[in-house]
Amino acid sequence: MPDDVVDMIMADHREVERLFNLLETQPDQRTRNLPVLSALLIAHSRAEESEVYPVAKDEAGASEKVAHSQEEHVEAEQILERLKAAYPTGTEFSRILSELVEAVSHHVEEEESSVLPTIRTALPESRRLELADAFAQSRAEHLGDEPGDATKDELLQMAENVDMSGASTMSKSELDQKLKQQAEQ
C-alpha cells in the first residue's frame, strides 16, 4: 500500500534528523551535506504549507496547530539562512546549527504529537493518499529552492495558514516582514 501523507512527512523528519547528525558529527563533510539539508527542509516546508496545512486547517479542524507550525517554519527558515551564510568549519556554524537542530526538533515533536495525529484521525485514508500525491508533487517542484526566496503567492499562503488579516493588500516585502515578526512573538 502506498504511504499516506502522514507517513511521508514523518519519513522526511527522519531524514532531516539523519542529516543533522551528519552535520554535527562530520564537520569536514558540511559543505556536501548542508545543501542537501537545505533543499529538503525548504521543499518539505513549502509542500506542507501549500498542500497539507490548508487541508489540516479546513478539513481536520487544526487551525491553531497549523498557525503555530507555520510560524515555526518561518523561524527555521531564518535560522537556515544564517547557517548557510556561516563558514562551515567555524564555531559560529556549530552554534547556529545547534539552534536550527533545536528549533526543528521542537517543531517535529509538536507536529508529530498534534498536527499529524489530527490529520490521521480526521481524514479518511483515501484523502490522505490523495494528499500524499499533492505533497510529493509540491515537494519535487520546490527542490532547489533557497531559504528566504519564497514567492509572493507562497508568502500569501503562509499568511493564510496563520490567519493573518490584510495580507492580500501587502507587498511581498511587507508580507515577509510581518510573517517574520509573527514568528518571533
The Cα–Cα gap between 138 and 115 comes to: 19
The domain limits of the chain are 5-184
Give the global pTM.
Answer: 0.93
Q: Which cell numbers hold the place of 81?
A: 539562512
Instruction: Provide the pLDDT for residue 13.
Output: 98
- How confident is the model over 41-88, as pLDDT tens digits? 999 999 999 999 999 999 998 889 999 999 999 999 999 999 999 999
Q: Pick 3 or 108 by higher pLDDT.
A: 108
Residues composing the chain? 185
Distances (CA, A) of 156 to 54, 116, 171: 12, 23, 10
Q: Which cell numbers hold the place of 63?
A: 487551525
Instruction: Provide the pLDDT for residue 185.
Output: 81
User: At a CB cut-off of 8 Å and minimum separation 6, what does 12 contact?
Assistant: 40, 44, 139
Q: Pick 3 or 23 by higher pLDDT.
A: 23
User: What average pLDDT does the structure give for the chain?
Assistant: 94
Instruction: Provide the pLDDT for residue 184.
Output: 85
Q: Which amino acid is at 50?
A: S
